[in-house]
Structure 1
């Protein structure tokens, strides 16, 4: 058998094995989530407590990247409430199509119906937002990111800096200005919706420390799946270039 044929055969074999493994893993996850829904409430609470104890490191900022999928309000509402429950301070949604931005008021309404009265949610996409101090209860910052917040933001900032020709700007200064423009800290966890990890021109400057996790679809995401991501993240060792 020629070398090229051997390589082709091995490639096809590995691809078939990986496809079967991915299908079996997905089937097991679906089966687990289905069975979990029928557990008694006490068993569910025990399971959640055990999983939460495994989370030794929590993200400060969780970001969700949508591809071709339309952002479903039910699942987005759940993610915001789950972040509140697990004390994640920032959550952002990146919709490069821009459809979610147009319907943000509907998302705010859905979240308002389900959150506790003492919960405080700061919507950074709203220019009329009022930042409250001294509130009690849980709090979270929510932001909707669009394609304009990506590469275009770097281009626009570079144009502004070009005006100050006599001033010495370092990478650190540039990074601080981008952070101030972005408002949120860099995301620690990125949930990518789709069959492959594609970032769709997500703001590139902010991704240096992000751990990405692929979701086949955001539709029907469950709290156990959400906890699974947090547990996997807590086990990641981030060297930050060291």
Structure 2
């Protein structure tokens, strides 16, 4: 089973949803849709910003200031980078396969969601194959809202966040148009070392580009931006 979290954002509105039953959740942010799924592709381990180092521990088990600082840095860059991309996905799915520390994982996922939002993505979905987010009892939603308020500032202060009920979240996962206008993902970012979408509904992936990103732990903005650039530069022929 999988924990689905959907965060929806459009212009003045965003949608985030959480289904805290087994592995799914969904949250709604007004008119636009953002859906995300937990699981993560591979990422480069050498060079650039160091990964996996939290305050008080070399392996990143302790939640420290690194994720906070990286989140702020990434948001500043994303606000400008989004305008430079030739095209943006409408719906980004985040698929998570690895077991990161729950608290740290929440911050890394929250960073990824808000970076997508700042780049201009309308829908973000998180597909949690291992149920990590379920263990945090809604902390992902709290963290996204906190960072949205503290880091995105007054420009986002009027955005309203609503939570979608379990029935709507389940219907969305099963491909039922429970949420009007909520599209299938056109880009899926896979986090972790497993080369699989781990149960992500295949009927929602028929037109999606699937790009591996790397480990979730210690996620840095450049990893996500690189995947976005790859999507912007690819030519989707849709079978032609």
TM-score bin (small chain)? 0.5 to 0.7
Scaled by the length of structure 2, the TM-score of the pair is 0.57
- For the residues of structure 2 that align with 1:127 and 1:196, how far apart are their CA atoms? 28
Aligned partner of 2:222 in structure 1 is: 224
CA RMSD of aligned residues (A): 3.7
Q: Could you tell me which runs of 5 or more consecutive residues in structure 2 were left unpaired when the two chains were aligned.
A: 1-41, 51-71, 150-156
For the 8 Å contact 1:83–1:91, the answer to whether it is kept is yes
> Aligned runs of 1:1-242 on 2, under 5 Å?
26-30=45-49, 51-70=81-100, 72-101=105-134, 103-116=136-149, 117-124=157-164, 126-127=165-166, 153=174, 178-181=175-178, 184-242=182-240
Query: 1:78 & 1:220 partners in 2: Cα distance?
Result: 10
Query: Per-residue displacement from partner, 1:98-149 (whole Å, max 9, x unpaired)?
Result: 342453521121122221322334444x4499xxxxxxxxxxxxx7x8xx97
TM-score, with length taken from structure 1: 0.57
> Which is greater in Rg?
1
Structure that is richer in helix per residue:
1
Tell me: CA distance 1:199–1:48, structure 2 relative to 1, closer, same or farther (3 Å). Answer: closer
Shift of 1:215: 2.4
The answer for the alignment partner of 1:8 in structure 2 is none
Q: Does the aligned pair in 1 maintain the 2:78–2:118 contact within 8 Å?
A: no
Give the 3 Å change call, closer, same or farther, for CA 220–68 of structure 1 in structure 2: closer
Larger RCO: 1 or 2 (CA < 8 Å, sep 6+): 2
Q: Secondary structure at the match of 1:233?
A: helix
Note the alpha carbon deviations across 1:167-215, whole angstroms, 9 max, x for none.
Answer: xxxxxxxxxxx34157631111111112242111110101011111112
Looking at secondary structure, tell me which structure has more strand per residue: 2
Could you tell me which runs of 5 or more consecutive residues in structure 1 were left unpaired when the two chains were aligned. 1-21, 32-40, 130-142, 154-177
Change (3 A) 1:122 1:213: farther
Counting matched residue pairs gives: 169
- Specify the SS of the correspondent of 1:239: coil
Structure 1 residues 193 and 205, CA gap change in structure 2 (3 angstroms): same
